[in-house]
Amino acid sequence: MTAPTPSKLAYVPFVSVDNMMKLIWRTGIEETLKELAGYVEDDFRRWELFDKTPRVASHSAEGVIELMPTSDGEVYGFKYVNGHPSNTKTGLQTVTAFGLLADVASGYPVLLSEMTVLTALRTAATSAMVAKHLAPKGAKTLALIGNGAQSEFQALAMKAIVGIEHIRLYDIDAAATDKAMRNLANKGVTLTACKTPEEAIEGAHIITTCTADKQYATILTDNMVGAGVHINAIGGDCPGKTELHKDILTRSDVFVEYPPQTRIEGDIQQMPEDFPVTEMWEVINGTAKGRTDDRQITLFDGVGFAIEDFSALRYVKDKLQGTDLYEELDMLADPDDPRDLFGMVQRAK
């Protein structure tokens, strides 16, 4: 990644929601998801280079506000993100976010971007990248349980990266399923709206649970999960929020991003601290095994990790080259003499 030039140090490229959408549609959403998954996979391969810490979270009865920082030693990145499941009742998004990249050598920001849309993209790209490594060979059918804001991104990522052809959808709110069916129409996949989660998982090779309620929930019970499936459990992403019965975990080989965070926030928060898990970066690097037989149940307990956001911001910064899809924000003080900040302020008189 190129550091900012001295003449531009006072200005930071900013990607608005409008320009993010233009960037996506200029590339194509499925191509964007594939390219973004490649960036995430590349950064998983160099996982050991990154600073890693569980996200810094401020919890309330209504939801959570989090900061997610990391650095590869040359570039620093963070994301601000909230999760407030009840927001939709007042017409607000459950999740909003923005992120920043900075040059480590100078500490100066080099990119500021919206990340509400980008988080949906990176979450879906990560899910599909993991499924590419863990799902049964020839997987064609996806059960998508939870048809809210993330669902269409998950569906299209699984189509573009894994080769999913048939999607079976279920949500406790039938209107959410109707919305997803409309948005996914004519996207090259066969769609089936289901009335129960049991119906949704019939014949599915991959099961994605993507619900938003902040509670200990049991979206999947043990008797619903047969041998050989891959479970993509991405809705359990904070303390006190789960989707799977713990007996499913004991039958599965569980894969995670960063264990210290997942043990606090993921479905494995139900399990003892020594419950065995495999870190996904090790599978990608070939130092740990992923799927080993046709009857194995693989489970990705995905909670989202800062390195994935870093990858997404890195991808956006590269995609901006040669475009006009950003604004230059005058957000950094630039005094004539670096030691005379007060003198710069005096110029405003």
DSSP 166-219: EEEEE-SSHHHHHHHHHHHTTSSSEEEE-SSHHHHTTT-SEEEE----SSEEEE
Whole-number pLDDT of residue 236: 62
19-65 per-position pLDDT tens digit: 999 999 999 999 999 999 999 999 999 999 999 999 999 989 888 89
Nearest to 68 by CA among 111, 99, 108: 99
Q: Is the pLDDT of residue 3 over 80?
A: no
Q: What percent of the chain has pLDDT over 90?
A: 82
Confidence tier at 1 by pLDDT (50, 70, 90): very low
249-259 per-position pLDDT tens digit: 999 999 999 99
Whole-number pLDDT of residue 263: 95
> Is 237 part of the annotated catalytic residue set?
yes
Kindly report the pTM of this predicted structure.
0.93
Query: Please, what CATH class does the domain formed by 6-117+307-346 belong to?
Result: alpha beta
The domain segmentation of the chain, as residue ranges, is: 6-117+307-346, 136-304
297-335 per-position pLDDT tens digit: 999 999 999 999 999 999 999 999 999 999 999 999 989
How confident is the prediction for the chain on average, in pLDDT? 93
Catalytic residue among 43, 72, 171, 237: 237
172-231 per-position pLDDT tens digit: 999 999 999 999 999 999 999 999 999 999 999 999 998 866 667 788 888 999 999 999
Q: 136-304: CATH homologous superfamily? A: NAD(P)-binding Rossmann-like Domain (3.40.50.720)
Note whether 6-117+307-346 and 136-304 share their fold. no
